[in-house]
Amino acid sequence: MVGAGVRLRRRVSGVGRDDEVGRKKDAGSRSWKLMKSTGEEMDLDVDKYAIMRRVKVHARDLRILDPLLSYPSAILSRDRAIVLNLEHIKAIITAEEVLLRDQLDDNVIPVVEELRRRLKPMSTAHEGQGDEDSPLEEGEEMGDEDESPFEFTALEVALEAICSYLAARGIELETAVYPAMEKLTSKVTSRKLDEVRKLKSQVARLSARVHKVREELKQLLNDDHDMANLYLSKKLPGAASPSPDNDGGNKSDAGSVSPGGDIHIVPTAEESDDDFGVEELEVILEAYFTHIDGTLNKLTMLRDHIDNTEDYIKFQLDKHRNRLMEVELFLSVLFICLSIYSTVAQLFGMTIPYSWNYGHGHLFKWAVIIPGLFSSFLFICVISHARRRGIIGSYNS
């Protein structure tokens, strides 16, 4: 009985370990959209280890593509892949295929459709390469479509999607900010101030996101080696080397492999931008850099408009506050003058037996008129002096 109980516990513990491993595997699996250069598509539900083996990237590269983690936008070049983390577009591009995360997202669906549209002519061109009866004009047209490497086409689609998305968000904010500013300048209320505060925070967050994408493109454009590392087609077996003049003895000068697995091409004195094959990529990056820079300029102008409106509102509030201070000063001087006048009345109202309290009734009117004239004269002098000094009356429109 004891032996049977031990075997039963082992069997139950083994089942528990299998369930735990299964849960970990299900938790680590992710849904990917695979699109090949031939036009084939398929949905993959695999874990990160399968993706790492397929595209030869590290776990830290997949970590920045995790939607549960907050990582800034980045374009990373690896030995056989380009890792893209551009807002909602999280993809891995190789020389022959592209893997997209969250393909059912509303913002990712247009990217999939555009890739499908771009890849259809390329697959048709590949199929028609052996067809000798195809017309020359059709072959030339397909050749124009198939001229760019696959990784450049996929990268262009991703950049076009993210630039259009950020530009659309900027237009939405622009249409909301200007009417809010006009309403605020017409009448200042707490509700309008809170609305403008929320819009300003949205503009600041969007500007930071656009600036990060712009800096990534700028960093690539400023370094030919980074752009050369994005040319994955030249890293394929049998592809032409970046420099045709290099012989077998100079292979060590053609490139170097970093400990992280990235290939860095080292130029020689005779190589130019065309030798790296970066001219076409540079044109693509410059076009979308100009696009994203224009979006950033619009957001900067929008933020400046909000700041100018806030300064104007602060000036108006300061003006009203100064007017209230003028009224307060006016009332304070008037109260002091009336206090002087009432002091005389209080002196005569005392029930003290002075000798001049009797037989001098004809002087009562002068006791009232003289303090009143003195108080009025003092009030006019103080107000006139304050006006000459610019203490009051200087903020009147």
Which of the listed residues 87, 109, 131 is the one where a domain comes to its end?
109
Minimum mean pLDDT range among 81-90, 224-233, 354-363, 369-378: 354-363
Asked if the model's pLDDT at residue 313 lies above 70, the reply is yes
Give the best-scoring range by mean pLDDT among 10-19, 154-163, 376-385.
154-163
Residue 276 falls within a domain, yes or no? Answer: no
254-312 residue pLDDT tens:
444 444 444 444 444 344 444 455 788 899 999 999 999 999 999 999 999 999 999 99
Who wins on pLDDT, 271 or 38?
38
| Other beta carbons less than 10 A from residue 361's beta carbon | 8
Residue 181 falls within a domain, yes or no? Answer: no
- pLDDT score for 391: 73
Residue 39 falls within a domain, yes or no? Answer: yes
Which of the listed residues 109, 143, 165 is the one where a domain comes to its end?
109
Residue 365 falls within a domain, yes or no? Answer: yes
Host domain of residue 90: 29-109
Asked if the model's pLDDT at residue 240 lies above 70, the reply is no
Q: Report the number of distinct structural domains present in the chain.
A: 2
Asked if the model's pLDDT at residue 55 lies above 90, the reply is no
- pLDDT score for 219: 92
Who wins on pLDDT, 253 or 298?
298
- pLDDT score for 352: 67
**C-beta of residue 202 within 8 angstroms of C-beta of residue 52:** no
- In whole angstroms, give the CA distance from residue 240 to residue 7: 63
Residue 376 falls within a domain, yes or no? Answer: yes
Residue 331 falls within a domain, yes or no? Answer: yes
Asked if the model's pLDDT at residue 135 lies above 60, the reply is no
Which of the listed residues 79, 109, 139 is the one where a domain comes to its end?
109
Q: What would the mean pLDDT of 45-64 be, rounded to a whole number?
A: 87
- In whole angstroms, give the CA distance from residue 388 to residue 139: 89
Who wins on pLDDT, 264 or 392?
392
Residue 156 falls within a domain, yes or no? Answer: no
- Supply the CATH number for residue 80's domain: 2.40.128.330
Residue 360 binned pLDDT confidence (cut-offs 50, 70, 90): low
Phi then psi dihedrals of residue 44, to 5 deg: -110, 135
Residue 79 falls within a domain, yes or no? Answer: yes
Who wins on pLDDT, 390 or 172?
172
Mean pLDDT of the chain: 77
SS3 sequence, 152-169?
Answer: HHHHHHHHHHHHHHHHHH
- The pTM is what? 0.69
Residue 127 binned pLDDT confidence (cut-offs 50, 70, 90): low
